[in-house]
């Protein structure tokens, strides 16, 4: 897999310019005011970023998961929170809906999600079911040609702004994925949460009160929702890793510059061995997390993704992002602790990496059980 093909180098340059011009100037405002720049998000649609994995005939750009990872990495460098909203819209919702939806659903919903006319969310988590997602209580009951949906979802990225929701609910003993629209009768939004980090990426609750859904709102097979949930998780883990790769790069960049500029005891900070130790470890861990994420990405592109490779990619990139941003603050001393410098934002944002889209503990559990299972089958450790 060649990530340096001209088309991807061009995309990276294009996204980097967009981020420098449109995102970076707003990044601190987004954090301070919990401000979601809806106009910039919609512009990302016009730039072809939102529908990057979707074929051109449905309004997408057709550059696959490599393109999506590049966008996440570049957004993560400037605004991890915009990168999170992008990931929830473009990967968790749009790509998932495209992969599992039928032709009518693709024609009706996909183009507007690609061009930014509509914003999307994925609803899995509920107040009483987070890590144990399949313990969800939301349910849909078939009544003639309609499903009647009841329940709620919480911590849903983009929910305060979204028009189209990909929602999972129980259907008897099984699960089914549905498309729910914000103007469906019986749909309502709850509060927007006030978060410690990832501010500017709106997170909210949604409620379903006897929503009547025609059967054409079922995504994939009726009662086949579990496969959709599990089928999307690996690409989701890998793509979201890149937010934290970009974040770690930014924290390291800020700390490196500061260690050159700041003098104490007549010397720039980088001459002190304890600072060198930090810089060397930050660089090494950043590079290792980046290479692990690109390795997992090539498996996604080649359709031979295994669970432990995807889970270890996000496990490590999230841990490294938190460590590197913490060390960046330490290198910058009092300056790093001040909000104006903007580096403490990266630490607060990085912490989400160990909670959202699955926690560190659950990732470790999955990696260990997958390792043992494969090992027992005689598969060697690559």
Ligand X SMILES: Cc1cc2nc3c(=O)[nH]c(=O)nc-3n(C[C@H](O)[C@H](O)[C@H](O)COP(=O)(O)OP(=O)(O)OC[C@H]3O[C@@H](n4cnc5c(N)ncnc54)[C@H](O)[C@@H]3O)c2cc1C
Binding of ligand X by 148 (CB under 6 A): no
Distances (CA, A) of 191 to 33, 114, 158: 16, 27, 12
Element (H, E) at 334: helix 333-337
Identify any residues that bridge with 263 across adjacent strands, giving them in sequence order: 268
Judged by CB under 6 A, how many residues of this single chain contact ligand X?
A: 23
Nearer to ligand X, 197 or 336 (CB): 197
Nearer to ligand X, 67 or 160 (CB): 160
Among 281, 362, 367, 371, binds ligand X (CB under 6 A): 362
Distances (CA, A) of 161 to 120, 303, 360: 8, 33, 28
Nearer to ligand X, 196 or 338 (CB): 196
Q: Is 273 exposed, middle or buried (0-12, 13-18, 19+ CB in 10 A)?
A: exposed
Binding of ligand X by 166 (CB under 6 A): no
Of the residues 72, 73, 74, 236, only one is catalytic, namely 236
Nearer to ligand X, 208 or 258 (CB): 208
Q: Return d(Cα 177, Cα 291) in angstroms, integer.
A: 34
- Which of the ranges 1-9, 154-162, 230-238, 327-335 carries the binding residues for ligand X, by CB under 6 A? 154-162
Among 61, 90, 152, 203, binds ligand X (CB under 6 A): 203
Binding of ligand X by 355 (CB under 6 A): yes
Q: Return d(Cα 115, Cα 316) in angstroms, integer.
A: 33
Q: Is 94 exposed, middle or buried (0-12, 13-18, 19+ CB in 10 A)?
A: buried
Residues 1-20 contacting ligand X, CB under 6 A? none
Question: 316, 309, 310: which is closest to 287 by C-alpha?
Answer: 316
DSSP helix, strand, coil percent of the chain (3-state; round to 5): 60, 15, 25
For residue 43, indicate whether it is catalytic: no
Element (H, E) at 170: strand 164-171
- Report residue 366 as tokens: 């999955």
Binding of ligand X by 177 (CB under 6 A): no
What is the DSSP pairing of strand 218-219 with strand 139-143?
unpaired
Nearer to ligand X, 53 or 93 (CB): 93
Nearest approach, Cβ of 18 to ligand X (angstroms)?
Answer: 24
Residues 55-94 contacting ligand X, CB under 6 A? 88
Position of minimal CB gap to ligand X: 130
Q: Return d(Cα 160, Cα 164) in angstroms, integer.
A: 11
Binding of ligand X by 358 (CB under 6 A): yes
Among 41, 155, 294, 316, binds ligand X (CB under 6 A): 155
Among 115, 141, 298, 359, binds ligand X (CB under 6 A): 359
Binding of ligand X by 352 (CB under 6 A): yes
Binding of ligand X by 198 (CB under 6 A): yes
Binding of ligand X by 186 (CB under 6 A): no
Q: Return d(Cα 4, Cα 278) in angstroms, integer.
A: 30
Phi and psi at 357, nearest 5°, equal 55, 35
Nearer to ligand X, 127 or 333 (CB): 127
Residues 103-132 contacting ligand X, CB under 6 A? 121-125, 130-131
Binding of ligand X by 365 (CB under 6 A): yes
Nearer to ligand X, 259 or 325 (CB): 325
Question: 49, 62, 92: which is closest to 239 by C-alpha?
Answer: 92
> How far, in whole angstroms, is CA 156 from its chain's centroid?
12
Query: Can you give the binding site for ligand X, defined by CB under 6 A?
Result: 88, 121-125, 130-131, 155-157, 195, 198, 203, 352, 355-359, 361-362, 365
- Active-site positions read 236
């Amino acid at each position: 897999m060649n990530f340096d093909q001209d088309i991807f180098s061009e995309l990276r340059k294009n996204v980097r310019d967009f981020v420098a011009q449109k995102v970076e100037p707003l990044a601190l405002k987004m954090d301070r005011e919990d401000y979601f720049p809806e106009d910039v998000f919609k512009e990302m649609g016009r730039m072809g970023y939102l529908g990057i994995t979707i074929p051109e005939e449905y309004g997408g750009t057709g550059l696959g998961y490599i393109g999506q990872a590049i966008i996440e990495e570049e957004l993560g460098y400037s605004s991890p929170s915009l990168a999170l909203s992008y990931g929830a819209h473009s990967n968790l919702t749009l790509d998932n809906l495209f992969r599992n939806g039928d032709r009518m659903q693709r024609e009706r919903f996909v183009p507007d999600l690609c061009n930014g006319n509509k914003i999307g969310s994925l609803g899995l988590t509920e107040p009483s079911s987070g890590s144990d997602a399949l313990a969800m209580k939301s349910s849909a009951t078939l009544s003639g040609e309609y499903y009647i949906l009841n329940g709620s979802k919480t911590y849903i990225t983009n929910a305060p702004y979204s028009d189209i929701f990909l929602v999972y609910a129980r259907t008897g003993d099984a699960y089914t994925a549905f498309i729910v629209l914000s103007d469906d009768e019986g749909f309502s939004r709850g509060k927007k949460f006030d978060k410690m980090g990832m501010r500017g990426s709106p997170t909210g609750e949604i409620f379903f009160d006897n929503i009547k859904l025609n059967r054409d709102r079922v995504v994939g097979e009726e009662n086949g929702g579990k496969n959709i949930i599990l089928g999307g998780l690996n690409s989701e883990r890998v793509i979201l890793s890149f937010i934290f790769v970009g974040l770690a790069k930014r924290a390291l960049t800020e700390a490196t510059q500061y260690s050159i500029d700041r003098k104490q005891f007549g010397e720039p900070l980088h001459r002190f061995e304890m600072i060198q130790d930090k810089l060397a470890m930050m660089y090494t861990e950043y590079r290792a997390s980046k290479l692990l994420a690109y390795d997992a990405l090539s498996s996604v592109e080649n359709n031979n993704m295994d669970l432990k490779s995807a889970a270890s990619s996000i496990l490590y990139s999230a841990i490294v992002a938190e460590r590197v941003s913490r060390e960046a603050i330490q290198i910058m001393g009092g300056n790093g602790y001040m909000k104006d410098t903007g580096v403490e934002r990266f630490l607060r944002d990085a912490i989400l990496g160990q909670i959202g889209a699955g926690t560190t503990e659950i990732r470790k559990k999955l990696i260990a059980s997958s390792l043992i299972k494969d090992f027992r089958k005689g598969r060697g450790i690559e």
